[in-house]
Each structure stands twice: as C-alpha cells, then as structure tokens.
Amino acid sequence: MTVVQIKDLTKRFGETTALQGIDLEIEPGEFVSLIGPSGCGKSTLLRIIGDLIEPTSGSSTVNGKPARQARIDRDYGIVFQDAVLYDWRTVAKNIALPLELARWDRRRRAAKVREMVDLVELTGFENHYPWQLSGGMQQRVSIARALSFDPALLLMDEPFGALDEMTRERMNMELLRIWEASGSTVVFVTHSISEAAFLSTRVVVMSPRPGRISGVISIDLPQPRTATTREEPHFFELVTEVREALHLGHDMERTPA
C-alpha cells in the first residue's frame, strides 16, 4: 500500500502561496528526498504529511488514512534539524519518551530502548544527558527516539543541516544502515544536492514562489551504498542531473541565480 499519497495539495499563508498543485506518491521502503532552495515549501510539505500544519486544499494521506488519523495512530516518527532532546532526560529517557506516551510498560520500554541504543550505536551513553553529547550523537538520539515505536514512516527535516561536513557524511552512512535495518520509509528534506543523491531512491526537486514540484529523479545507484558510491561516475551524473533540475526550476521563474 502507498505510504504517502498527496493529491492536488495547496497551502497558503495569508497572501503567500507556499505550495501549489502538489501530487506525490511514496511507496513502502522508499527513501525520498525533497530538495529545493529556501522558500520552496519543502519543510511545509513535510509538516503537512505529519499533520503538524493543515493544507489549504487538497489531501494528504499516510498509510491510506487522513494525515490527522495517521498522527493519532503514531504512524510516523519525526526528526528536526535540531535534535530537540529534553535537557532534563537522559539519552535512554529521551528515547523512551514516545513509548511512555504510548503507555508501554516499563520492561517493554527498557528492552526497546536497549535495542534502539544499539541501533544508533550509543551503547555506554544511556545515562548521559543531551548536553554531554556532541551534535552528531544528539541527532542519533533523536533518530532513535523517532524510530523507537516502529513507525512505518520517518520524516526528517534537514536533520544533518547543523552538522559539519565530516560528521554529516558519517551520519549519512549511519542513516542508510538504520533505514535498511528498520525497513521504514523515509521522507528527507535537505538542501544538499550530494546528500540527496547519495541517500535517496528518488529525489523530488522543488522550486519556489509558488512552491511546487519541478522534477522527480530516480536514483538508480546500487544498494547498499558505500563510501565509494560517492566516487562513482554515475553518482556525479546524478548529482549533475539534480543540480540542473534545480536550476531549471529557478529559470522557469526567471529569478537571478
């Protein structure tokens, strides 16, 4: 069954049209990146999928359910650019937060937290507080928290945007490993072309004013991707293709680059 289905979706903020005529379908197991310049509405689209804001018109469903019902059923986990960890909770307690809210009992919670800590390779840091961790480690806690209740869908809003290039590339590898291990579907907002090309099975290129989808590029690089994937000629071809699609979107609008 289609995980995300968006039909003829429009979002206006007052006079501004943030999104117009968006149609998008995402199948199970896909890793879809939304890429585009600031103001193209990629984060807005992600928030509409998660029912954090409502569309002006059109529909968005997750697992065949209206976005609101999917949110209430906890069908997705979300990761923001900032880790948004609770300062007063340890790593383990932060990961357990959604499980507490879903009323899991203590023993089940502890087992799941251990599993998630292993998954994001933070063993030994369970009792650390967020401010005792590096930015990359904080973001790994945030990912573990989002995946702790086994959501079908993982929404990520520029999760590595605040990290340095080295950490970002390492986190990309980790994310792919986690994606494979968890088998979830990922919608990933980014403004890094190479990150989008490296991670995704499909890249959705968006352009601003009004925010719309200006191109969709299938990334047919073999799985699993490795550090050498970034050095393959085909990877560069795809990066170029995404870049050109981005510029095309810009040119249609005739804004200076």
- Residue 188 makes contact with other proteins by CB under 8 A: no
What DSSP element (H or E) covers 183? none
- Residue 52 makes contact with other proteins by CB under 8 A: yes
* Region binding other proteins by CB under 8 A among candidate stretches 2-10, 47-55, 163-171, 244-252: 47-55
- Residue 162 makes contact with other proteins by CB under 8 A: no
Long-range contacts formed by 244-247: CB under 8 A, 24+ apart: 245/205, 245/214, 245/215, 245/217, 246/35, 246/36, 246/37, 246/193, 246/205, 246/207
What is the size of the binding site for other proteins (CB under 8 A)? 25
Q: Contact 25/195 with Cβ under 8 angstroms?
A: no
Q: Which residue is it, tokens 């006079």?
A: 15
Q: Which two tokens stand for residue 121?
A: 């390779």
Binding other proteins by CB under 8 A: which of 31, 43, 46, 50? 50
> Residue 79 and residue 140: Cα distance in Å, rounded?
10
Minimum Å distance from CB 78 to other proteins?
A: 5
> Residue 236 and residue 111: Cα distance in Å, rounded?
42
> Residue 20 and residue 100: Cα distance in Å, rounded?
38
Binding other proteins by CB under 8 A: which of 13, 54, 66, 101? 101
CA angle 27, 30, 36 (to 5 degrees): 105
Nearer to other proteins, 14 or 124 (CB): 124
> Residue 35 and residue 245: Cα distance in Å, rounded?
10
Helix (H, G, I), strand (E, B) or coil at 205: strand
Q: Which two tokens stand for residue 15?
A: 């006079």
Binding other proteins by CB under 8 A: which of 100, 164, 251, 253? 100
* Region binding other proteins by CB under 8 A among candidate stretches 24-32, 44-52, 184-192, 201-209: 44-52
Q: Which two tokens stand for residue 64?
A: 């065949």
Nearer to other proteins, 158 or 241 (CB): 158
Nearer to other proteins, 98 or 211 (CB): 98
- Which parts of 59-98 interact with other proteins (CB under 8 A)? 71-74, 76-78, 80, 82, 84, 86-88, 97-98
Nearer to other proteins, 190 or 194 (CB): 190
Minimum Å distance from CB 30 to other proteins?
A: 20
Binding other proteins by CB under 8 A: which of 102, 111, 181, 227? 102
Residues that bind other proteins (CB under 8 A): 47, 50, 52, 71-74, 76-78, 80, 82, 84, 86-88, 97-98, 100-102, 124, 129-131
